Structure 1
Amino acid sequence: MNTELKFNSNGTFKILQFTDIHYSNDNELDHGTTKLMEQILKAEKPDFIMITGDTVYGPDNISLLSKALLPVTDAGVPWSFTFGNHDTEEGAGYDKLFDAFTRLSNCAAFNADDSISGMGNHYLEVKDWEDNTKWLLFGIDSGAYNQLPQVEGYDYVKDSQIHWYKKVVQEFEKKADNFSALVFMHIALPEYNEVWDTRICYGDKREEVCAPKINSGFFTAMLETGHTKAVFVGHDHINDYIGDLYGILLGYGRATGYNTYGQEGYLRGARIIVLNENNTESFQTYIRLEDGIVLQEQMIHQPEKQR
């Protein structure tokens, strides 16, 4: 069921992105992640929470899920998620884990089309108080690992998903006068390399962009279809940069979980996105860190190559 999301009385809608929580065995590291999530939620008081993959990891994924997401369910606001590559690597598979996710309180995720690749592809509408759709929030399953035997590495968004995404946007063109969209997924698109190499970006790139080796054309579809203003991903734990490529912002969240790899001095946190009902062309975004610091402006990165 498509949960209805509304702008606040002040005309804003705040999204908090957690990513790579990696709740694995209910140990002290996991408990530290829980405390961090509670701290950030208390400080930010979001209207909506989006989790972009790798929420749980290991053979006990399904039994640990409610503990991993206790701060989210306790927050009392709608939330959604996308799968990462590790969520079902061990333990319960996609069907059972998806069912466990969606049974938790206030979960807005659903499987919009059983006929397309992946699990949990969906969209949510953010409406103003006159019931006009202003923003679409897409959750896309970016898969796990490439199933083509001749290709190694990570999976890619499939043709059926791209067709579905375009169809949804085109349907809203017929019934919404002025709307934009954000896309949330786990694995970065190949274009994340291009934006870092050829455009001014803001933030850190401390590891390789672990994008799929196959470019299936999802970014091109977003350009051709219009309306999508940004893509937000996780997956690469010590990257948090954001940059504009041909009018679409390509951004990372900030890795949240302690029970996984990171880098000394690189603090955990979350990304926040603030929408305004009177402006569907842009939005505000910033990062909140574990020490309470808010990064309203990230370090500038000059392109390494000519366009």
Structure 2
Amino acid sequence: MKRLLTSIVLLLLCLSSLSAQDHCGVLRFRADSTFRIAQFTDLHIDPTSVNTPRTYEVLREVIRSERPDLVLLTGDVITERPAAEGWRTLTRFFEEEKQPYGVLLGNHDAEVISKDSIYDLLEGAPYCVSLRGPREIEGEGNQEIRIESSSGGEIAALLYLLDSGQYYRDQFISHYDHIHFDQIDWLRRTHAQTISESGRDVIPSMLFFHIPTPEFEVLKDQGKGQINEGISSSTLNSGLFSTLLDLGGVMGVFCGHDHANDALAIRDGVTLGYGRVSGLDAYGDLPRGGRMIVLHEGEQRFDSWIATPKGGREAIFYYPSGFDSDEEQSAHYLPALSLDARTHGVSYRYYAGTIKQTKQIPTVSLVAEGTLPNLSIEGADREDHFGYIFEALIRIPERGLYRFYTYSDDGSVLYIDGVKVVDNDGGHSARLREGVVALEAGFHRLRVDYFEDYMGQTLEVGLTGKSLLRQPIPESMLYLEPSDE
């Protein structure tokens, strides 16, 4: 009887903590195949400040308007005394909102209360998914969070929380700390174990920590959003970013720390992004809010925007394309062609002779012409001094912006509906060039001119879009122009 009562009590406790979690400790994609994360950063809560209720109101309004499945607080949360009471108030807030949440620490949190004490208060709190993490590595709160598929059981996405530390031991070398080698080793081992357990090659993944890495410097030139102050990273680079490229499947890295920044950009296939400062007692003039991140089950894809109280949203960013909704709305779209193609393939003309620019291709000897299943130069019967002109219809699945690329040695130029989109012309070794075009859904004429002059030959033609990973143009998108017969 005692065991039965204990089981009933545990079941009731579990049911009482359900929200986006459909049973204790399990986070799942919704029935609509999305999982919504709200990132709040740099709350800088002072329990004695008159601004603190307003900070909580920002969180409350964003949570109630956006309905995230998980909230992540990315550091500098309670930064003034009495800190223990501040953390207790925070846990009560999320319990009242019935909102699952996780916490990682910034450089200021441990200045007013120890990390051990913080996790004593967090571990086991209702709705809190945070764990202290492995004791044998640097920092606390290093953690893997698994998100199950909407049907349950399978691991559909992974979130990693890392402790980016406080201040480096030698201030003459670096002011801020960095993510340490033992943390990176733990990340590698943990990810490899999870991949092995899942039986999959890749699982869509994201990382969250407080202090940006040196790679965030790319946001100064390429960031979408606001960069109103410097990138306050460690001056040391421990190699975390190269590890993420090795892991595969990592879609994004999100941090806080620099309150006047909220930009993001894609570097080498990985999004580097800031959250939006959330606390009223934090410095900076940006309107307080949070960053929403919406994952799509079964895809290497997410959408993100800045959410502010009263339902305000800023431009939606799309991964993997890197476009945003403002660009989509302002672009001039090329209309689709009024025709119906049914046969897959690419027509080609193959030339031989000395060529220095693609415009010279038709001036040399035409050797062969015909059709191929895709854009390929494998049929060339010589190593140097030849050219191709490829033509096909490309079927665009949905209205939007598309980034086309050619990777070629030597020159190549890509046209859509007669508009030059990628200019990779001239004699050169293998290199990548890209261009963006706005296209209505349906068929468009694609033309690629390519020549090989001397030493080495390669051609790859690809694209990415709002819902398309960067890839060589698949044969399924290419069609032959229908005959007039």
Same fold (TM over 0.5): yes
Equivalent residue letter for 1:275:
L
1:141-169 CA distance string (max 9 Å, x none): 00011113532311100000000001111
Q: Is the 8 A contact 1:23 1:64 kept in 2?
A: yes
* Amino acid paired to 2:283: Y
Three-state SS of the structure 1 residue aligned to 2:111 is coil
Alignment of 1:260 with 2:279, yes or no, is no
SS at match of 1:168: helix
Partner secondary structure for residue 110 of structure 2: coil
Amino acid at match of 1:185: F
**Shift of residue 71, structure 1, vs aligned partner:** 3.4
Q: SS where residue 152 of structure 1 aligns?
A: coil
- Unpaired segments of 5 or more residues in structure 1? 301-306
Q: Is the 8 A contact 2:218 2:265 kept in 1?
A: no
Distance 2:154 2:231 in 1: 37
Separation in 1, partners of 2:310, 2:262: 17
Identity across matched positions, percent: 28
Determine which of 265, 269, 275 is the counterpart of 1:247: 269
Amino acid in structure 2 at the alignment position of 1:190: P
Counterpart Cα distance in 2 of 1:58 and 1:147: 23
Deviation per residue, 1:190-233 (Å, 9 max, x gap): 10003433xx3210000111101111111111112212110010
Would you identify which runs of 4 or more consecutive aligned residues in structure 1 move more than 4 Å? none
8 Å CA contact 1:271, 1:287 repeated in 2: yes
The Cα shift of 1:105 comes to 1.5
| SS state at 2:283 partner | coil
Which piece of structure 1 moves more, 58-67 or 231-240?
58-67
Give 1:134's aligned residue.
Answer: 156
Alignment of 1:222-237 (within 5 A): 222-237=244-259
User: For residues 146 and 103 of structure 2, what CA distance do their matches in structure 1 show?
Assistant: 15
Q: Please point out which of 72, 75, 80 is paired with 1:50.
A: 72
Q: Which residue of 2 aligns with 1:82?
A: 104
1:187 aligns with 2:207: no
Paired residues for 1:1-307 under 5 Å: 3-90=25-112, 92-128=113-149, 129-176=151-198, 177=200, 178-197=202-221, 200-263=222-285, 266-279=286-299, 281-290=300-309, 292-297=311-316
RMSD of equivalent CA atoms: 1.9
Bigger fraction of residues in strand: 2
Matched letter for residue 125 of structure 1:
R
Aligned equivalents of 1:14 and 1:159: distance in 2?
Answer: 31
- Give the conservation status (yes or no) of the 8 Å contact 1:61–1:88: no
What is the deviation of 1:88? 1.3
User: Normalising by the residue count of structure 2, what TM-score does the alignment of the two structures yield?
Assistant: 0.58
The residue type paired with residue 67 of structure 2 is K
Letter aligned with residue 243 of structure 2 = A
Using CA pairs under 8 Å that are at least 6 residues apart, name the structure with larger relative contact order, 1 or 2: 1
Match of 1:193, SS?
helix
Name the SS for the 2:206 alignment partner: strand
Question: What secondary structure does 2:56 align onto?
Answer: helix
1:69 CA drift (Å): 4.6
Larger Rg: 2
Asked whether the 8 Å contact 1:26–1:64 carries over to 2, the reply is no
Secondary structure of the 1:202 match is: coil
Aligned equivalents of 1:82, 1:268: Cα separation in 2: 19
Task: Supply the distance in 2 between the matched residues of 1:237 and 1:244 (Cα, whole angstroms).
Answer: 20
Q: What is the DSSP-based 3-state SS (H/G/I as helix, E as strand, rest coil) of the residue aligned with 1:88? A: helix
Give the aligned residue type for 2:304: T
CA distance in 2, matches of 1:227, 1:12: 17
Q: Distance in 2 between matches of 1:194 and 1:240?
A: 13
> Structure 1-normalised TM-score?
0.91
Greater shift after overlay, 229-238 or 188-197? 188-197
SS at match of 1:137: strand
- Between stretches 184-193 and 164-173, larger displacement belongs to 164-173
Q: Which amino acid aligns with 1:192?
A: F
Cα distance in 2 between the residues matched to 1:79 and 1:57: 19
Contact 1:54–1:83 (CA under 8 A) maintained in structure 2: yes
Measured against aligned partners, the alpha-carbon deviations of 1:98-130 in whole angstroms (never above 9, x if no partner) come to 211224321111133110000110011011114
**How many residues in Structure 1 have an aligned counterpart in Structure 2?**
294
What is the CA–CA distance in structure 2 between the aligned matches of 1:48 and 1:74, rounded to whole Å?
15
For 1:28, what is the secondary structure of its paired residue?
A: coil
Q: Letter of the aligned partner of 1:163 in structure 2?
A: D
> Following TM superposition, by how much is the alpha carbon of 1:277 offset from its aligned partner in structure 2, in angstroms?
1.1
Report if the CA contact (8 A) 2:29-2:148 is conserved.
yes
One-letter code aligned to 2:232: C
Deviations along 1:18-45, whole A, 9 cap, x unmatched? 1111111332211110111111111011
Q: Which amino acid aligns with 1:187?
A: I
Give the deviation of 1:291 after TM superposition. 5.1
1:194 partner amino acid:
V
Letter of the 1:267 partner, please give it: P
